[in-house]
């Protein structure tokens, strides 16, 4: 149950009680302070429910971004051999006296690579490919030329960034 639903339920219950008491009985004078508190609570609930739901801000500060990037590149755990030659997996890096041989870090996802863009030589090569290999002239075959040039640039970017398509 959300907070809004809970507040609406409390408001409905208080209003029903208030309605029932005001119709069925004469209120003793010492109860007036109780009803004033009830009125204050009713008014506060009505006001709060009339407000829109708060929007939670997303923390995109540089510190938060740096923390996220660091966490993404940290290993999830480590695979190593203990002295009894049993294979172990732990979330901490073992000390040298605990293990035999190397420690293999285990990642939940491959480390993210930095994007590599096109150099002016790459663009020139793509242009030459379209003009010399595809034998398309920009003035006479403009749509085909543009499509071939874009494809050549995409292929170069895929190759430079480890893509396999």
| DSSP annotation string for 31-78 | GHHHHHHHHHHHHHHHHHHHSPPPPPPP---HHHHHHHHHHHHS-SEE
The parent domain of residue 83 ranges over 70-106
Q: How many domains does the chain have?
A: 3
Where does the pLDDT of residue 153 fall: very low under 50, low under 70, confident under 90, or very high at 90 and above? very high
Question: pTM for this structure?
Answer: 0.35
Is 102 found in the same domain as 125? no
Structure-model confidence comparison of residues 158 and 30, the more confident one = 158
**Residue 39: per-residue pLDDT:** 82
Rounded to an integer, the average pLDDT of 139-154 is: 88
CB-count burial class (<10 Å; 0-12, 13-18, 19+) for 29: exposed
Is 11 found in the same domain as 45? yes
pLDDT digits (tens, 9 = 90+) for 78-123: 888 887 778 888 877 888 888 888 888 887 766 667 888 899 999 9
**Residue 165: per-residue pLDDT:** 52
Where does the pLDDT of residue 16 fall: very low under 50, low under 70, confident under 90, or very high at 90 and above? confident
Structure-model confidence comparison of residues 163 and 104, the more confident one = 104
| C-alpha distances in Å from residue 16, one per residue of 5, 9, 11, 32, 36 | 16, 11, 9, 18, 16
Structure-model confidence comparison of residues 99 and 61, the more confident one = 99
Q: State the Cα–Cα distance between residues 33 and 42, nearest whole angstrom.
A: 14
**Residue 125: per-residue pLDDT:** 92
**Residue 60: per-residue pLDDT:** 62
Q: State the Cα–Cα distance between residues 47 and 40, nearest whole angstrom.
A: 11
Domain-located, residue 112? no
Cα-based torsion angle of the residue sequence 103, 109, 113, 117 in order, rounded to the nearest 10 degrees: 160
Domain-located, residue 59? no
């Amino acid at each position: 149950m959300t907070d809004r639903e809970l507040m609406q339920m409390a408001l409905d219950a208080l209003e029903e009680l208030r309605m029932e008491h005001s119709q069925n009985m004469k209120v003793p004078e010492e109860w007036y302070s109780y009803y004033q508190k009830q009125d204050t609570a009713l008014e506060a609930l009505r006001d709060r429910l009339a407000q829109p739901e708060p929007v939670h801000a997303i923390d995109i500060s540089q510190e938060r971004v740096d923390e996220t990037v660091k966490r993404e590149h940290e290993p999830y755990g480590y695979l190593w051999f203990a002295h009894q030659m049993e294979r172990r997996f732990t979330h901490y890096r073992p000390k040298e006296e605990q293990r035999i041989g190397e420690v293999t870090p285990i990642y939940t996802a491959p480390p993210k690579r930095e994007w590599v863009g096109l150099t002016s030589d790459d663009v020139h090569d793509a242009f030459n490919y379209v003009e010399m290999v595809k034998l398309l002239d920009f003035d006479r075959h403009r749509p085909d030329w543009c499509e071939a040039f874009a494809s050549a640039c995409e292929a170069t970017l895929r190759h430079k960034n480890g893509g396999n398509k």
